[in-house]
Structure 1
Amino acid sequence: MALRLPPLPALRFFEAAGRHKSFKLAAAELNVTPSAVSHGIVGLEQALGVTLFARNGRTLSLTAAGADYLPYVAEALSLIAIGTQRLPAGRGARALAVSCAPTLAARWLLPRLQRFQSRWPQVGVTVDTSHRQVGFPVDGFDFAIRLSRAPAVGARWTRLFGQRLIPVCSPAYRARLGDGAGHVDLGRASLIHVMTASEDWQAWFDVHELGEVEIAGGLRFDEFHLAFEAAAAGLGVALGRRPLVDRELASGALVEVAAQPISGDTAYWLVSADGADQRSDLRAFKAWLLKEAQASDADAVTAAAGP
């Protein structure tokens, strides 16, 4: 007897909406419209003959039936994803997929990918830089690179490298604010902030016990690379993150304001999906990435130490 299955695409909508408690966030994750998610779930409810979500204005919550059903659907989709990932890679195999923040992807990962492709030219790589939460394994990603203070529970996390924080600005801005000895008084500077950063200027001033400096003003951006570009344009002083800001420091577009960086509390971690060790291409990519991270971390330490 054939199994009685509900519409399978609608199950994906249900799992994402149930996890996020939002049709809008589920739609963003799945790259569809909120209307498509809503209509898909309505069709699923009609097929099952039960109400899965309670809709109270803008508030969305699972009904008792929906809460009971969700873990079964999530586990079933996870099993399908894991089984797919464990298929042997051969001709026509899908590219390995990596989720990575835009600035890290552009400034650290992409410049190194040529080295990976030269060694494994048959392995395709997809890099996704959207800011959505990744759900392993149902989202189809093999790896994610995340900035965090510590690994999260229930996933495979491997530390890549830490961050070193250093104030940076354009050479002209430093000359304008500096005294005869080249020292810059940050109290006179316009500080450039990154709103999404878990560590920003407060962390720097706490370490150097400069609590009297006013940090509320200045420019604010939601991406590191915009803060660095603003600093290079002479708009103020940004808190650089090495290795993300190394390109501008090497070219001279930005210069360090302080003599020594501080170590951040956060680090970049490689998060692996279950089954990532079952495929030779995924094992190769992980080993390569860890080697690149180790070299990058050592280079940053050497550069920070100076001559």
Structure 2
Amino acid sequence: MPIRAPRRFLPSLPLLAAFEAAARTGSITQAASELSLTQSAVSRQIKALEGQLGVELFVREKQKIRLTLGGQVYAREIRDALGKISNASLNLLANPAGGTLTLAVPPTFGARWLVPRVPRFLARHPQVSLNILSRLTQFDFRQDVIDAAIYFGAPQWTGVEMELLRGETVIPVCAPELAARHDFRAPADIRRAPLLHLTTRPDAWEHWMRRYGVDDRAVQGMLFDQFSTLFEAAAAGLGVALLPDFLFEEELREGRIVEALPLPHSGDEAYYLCWPGDRDAHRPLALFRDWLLEETADSR
């Protein structure tokens, strides 16, 4: 049986909301204005919270307040908890039947590969409400209000369920004008051109160079945080970029970018669908997982 927390450890939402607003704004006056309460009402709620917890959360200095060290930690965690409650309420309103799936995805993969396919999923499962959030950084199921995530990398997570979706092959691409100017013929010729890099894969060029026997020392160049901006930089003639071929097929077909050399590279990393074990029985997740594995069957 679950252990019920003592009442003193479960303060009411009005007390927590008053504390969070005062902690975030650093002002009783601003917190009162935000909550449409009087200053004395906010002060009483904070005092009531401190009395319930038996801990001082603020240091009072004349007309100012500042968080204690314990109050700083508590404010951060309460803010996260209130955010989760708010998101849960929004999800419920969006789909009262409870069929909501919130998914975190890499931005370019989500925009170019996943979203164009979502209508097929929704046509099959119209009862499911799908929320898609972009994530450049790694996700944390303990902190993020998400049911699942699509992750690119090695399957090194512990305590997380994972399904392989597809691998990835990158190719060196650039603007047609840059390719004509440098007249690439051998792998080593790449070092004569400016190289463009993705911040989340800082050693991608080194891997490519080692694959084709090119000196990989002192590789430099401009940095970009998303594939979409990396592509635009390559198309603008700023340099050569390593891009996943399956995400930029249309641009290659149209000639906005061209292969600097027909030398692809496939590493050990791949795209995975990940979810916490306690969400395994979540019906929308199960439906989405089955559909996604069908969509990626030919790529595995």
Please report the TM-score for the alignment, with normalisation by the length of structure 1. Answer: 0.67
- Say which of 235, 240, 250 aligns to 1:237: 240
Q: Deviations over 1:116-167 (max 9, x none)?
A: 1121122111001144654436643111111222231111122222221211
**Map of 1:277 onto structure 2:** 280
Q: Secondary structure at the match of 1:243?
A: helix
Q: Percent identity?
A: 38
Name the CA shift for 1:45/1:174 in 2 (closer, same or farther; >3 Å).
farther
Larger radius of gyration: 2
**Map of 2:117 onto structure 1:** 112
1:57-96 map, 5 Å: 92-96=97-101
Q: CA deviation at 1:274?
A: 3.0
Residue 210 (1) aligns with residue 199 (2): no
Residue 197 (1) aligns with residue 186 (2): no
- CA distance in 1 between counterparts of 2:124 and 2:109 reads 22
Q: CA RMSD in A?
A: 4.3
Q: Secondary structure at the match of 1:147?
A: strand
- CA distance in 1 between counterparts of 2:23 and 2:204 reads 34
**Map of 1:98 onto structure 2:** 103
Q: Secondary structure at the match of 2:269?
A: strand
Q: Secondary structure at the match of 2:279?
A: coil
Q: CA deviation at 1:95?
A: 2.3
**Aligned residues of 2:187 and 2:214 also touching (Cα < 8 A):** no
Gaps of at least 5 residues in structure 1 are 15-22, 24-31, 54-59, 299-307
Residue 188 (1) aligns with residue 177 (2): no
Q: Secondary structure at the match of 2:267?
A: strand
**Aligned residues of 2:102 and 2:146 also touching (Cα < 8 A):** yes
Residue 257 (1) aligns with residue 246 (2): no
Q: CA deviation at 1:108?
A: 1.2
Please report the TM-score for the alignment, with normalisation by the length of structure 2. Answer: 0.69
Residue 35 (1) aligns with residue 24 (2): yes
**Aligned residues of 2:100 and 2:284 also touching (Cα < 8 A):** no
Name the CA shift for 1:220/1:157 in 2 (closer, same or farther; >3 Å).
same
- CA distance in 2 between counterparts of 1:238 and 1:254 reads 10
Gaps of at least 5 residues in structure 2 are 1-5, 32-42, 59-66
**Aligned residues of 1:159 and 1:268 also touching (Cα < 8 A):** yes
- Is the deviation greater in 91-100 or in 263-272? 91-100
**Aligned residues of 1:165 and 1:239 also touching (Cα < 8 A):** yes
Aligned length: 259
**Map of 1:294 onto structure 2:** 297
- CA distance in 2 between counterparts of 1:61 and 1:134 reads 30
